[in-house]
């Protein structure tokens, strides 16, 4: 099984911490050159230093805010300038929680820009190089809400479905060039985002944080939350030559929590 990413370059968005950073660490472990992208330069600098260089790779970072797709676009095009990206990981912070029945239209517009418009811009930037080399992997970190909408995540549920549909549509069009497009749907994963969501939900329901956390863990067949590395290994596999015939899927990595077959 060919799991080598030697001489491949990956652009990993939302990668200063959490799932994105874990993905970068796995890809670097398989030999990829990694380009991290997020907003916080200090954290990015530390993140780059945590990546393996056992294949003499070069790692670097780009600073951009997904709230501003034009800026993201220009930062990435400036970086590309005759360079190629072989692996694109679309990922960033999730939309803020809340009921759909009270959500403002601007929340939908912002989330659409942050998730769909950026993904499209980044795909347009990297596809020409991928076509040239006949190898490309576009992998989107979405959420299990693509399968079953989650409570109190109205805007997120809506936009996640749009991203999954965007990805499937793109996979139909560019598979012929050796470029696969797949999505990974994390379940409860131990990151800053999960912590703040549990704290927020506990506060709103006037509940004890630790009790709520235990109840959520009990709801997972594996009876625990996932580690970021457990999401990242699936993403990394999809990025390798070994996954060459996997295309157009969205795969939950959630300890079995999602109630669909």
Angle between helices 209-218 and 192-204 (to 10 degrees): 110
Region near ligand NAP per CB under 6 A, out of 49-57, 64-72, 202-210, 211-219 = 64-72
Among 43, 75, 103, 202, binds ligand NAP (CB under 6 A): 43
- Residue 119 near ligand NAP by CB under 6 A: no
3-state secondary structure of 170: helix
Among 9, 90, 191, 250, binds ligand NAP (CB under 6 A): 191
Residues 6 or more apart from 113 whose CB is under 8 A from it? 67, 69
Angle at 127 between CA 229 and CA 182, to 5 degrees: 40
- Residue 98 near ligand NAP by CB under 6 A: no
Q: How far apart, in whole angstroms, are the C-alpha atoms of residue 64 and residue 74?
A: 9
Are the C-beta atoms of residues 183 and 163 closer than 8 Å to each other?
yes
- Residue 34 near ligand NAP by CB under 6 A: no
Name residues contacting ligand NAP, limited to 139-158 (CB under 6 A): 141, 143
Among 29, 55, 65, 229, binds ligand NAP (CB under 6 A): 65
Q: How many residues bind ligand NAP (CB under 6 A)?
A: 27
Among 67, 100, 202, 216, binds ligand NAP (CB under 6 A): 67
Q: How far apart, in whole angstroms, are the C-alpha atoms of residue 66 and residue 53?
A: 28
Residue with smaller CB distance to ligand NAP, 71 or 83: 71
Are the C-beta atoms of residues 127 and 179 closer than 8 Å to each other?
yes
Residues that bind ligand NAP (CB under 6 A): 14-20, 38-40, 43, 65-67, 91-94, 141, 143, 186, 188-189, 191-194
């Amino acid at each position: 099984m060919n799991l080598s990413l030697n001489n491949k370059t990956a652009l990993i968005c939302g990668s200063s911490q959490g799932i994105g950073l874990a993905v970068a660490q796995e890809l670097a472990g398989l030999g990829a050159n990694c380009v991290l992208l997020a907003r916080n330069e200090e954290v990015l600098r530390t993140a780059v230093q945590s990546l393996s260089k056992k294949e003499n790779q070069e790692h670097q970072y780009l600073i951009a805010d997904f709230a501003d797709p034009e800026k993201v676009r220009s930062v990435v095009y400036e970086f590309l300038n005759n360079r190629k990206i072989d692996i694109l990981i679309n990922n960033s912070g999730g939309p803020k929680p809340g009921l759909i029945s009270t959500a403002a239209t601007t929340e939908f517009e912002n989330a659409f820009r942050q998730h769909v418009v950026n993904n499209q811009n980044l795909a347009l930037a990297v596809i020409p190089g991928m076509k040239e080399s006949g190898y490309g992997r576009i992998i989107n970190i979405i959420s299990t809400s693509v399968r079953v909408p989650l409570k109190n995540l109205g805007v997120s549920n809506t936009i996640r479905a749009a991203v999954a549909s965007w990805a499937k549509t793109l996979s139909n069009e560019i598979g012929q060039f050796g470029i696969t497009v797949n999505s990974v749907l994390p379940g409860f994963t131990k990151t800053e985002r999960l912590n703040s969501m549990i704290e927020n939900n506990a506060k709103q329901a006037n509940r004890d944080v630790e009790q709520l956390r235990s109840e959520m863990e009990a709801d997972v067949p594996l009876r625990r939350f996932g580690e970021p590395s457990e999401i990242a290994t699936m993403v990394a596999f999809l990025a390798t030559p070994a996954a060459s015939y996997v295309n157009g899927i969205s795969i939950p990595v959630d300890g079995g929590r999602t109630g669909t077959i």
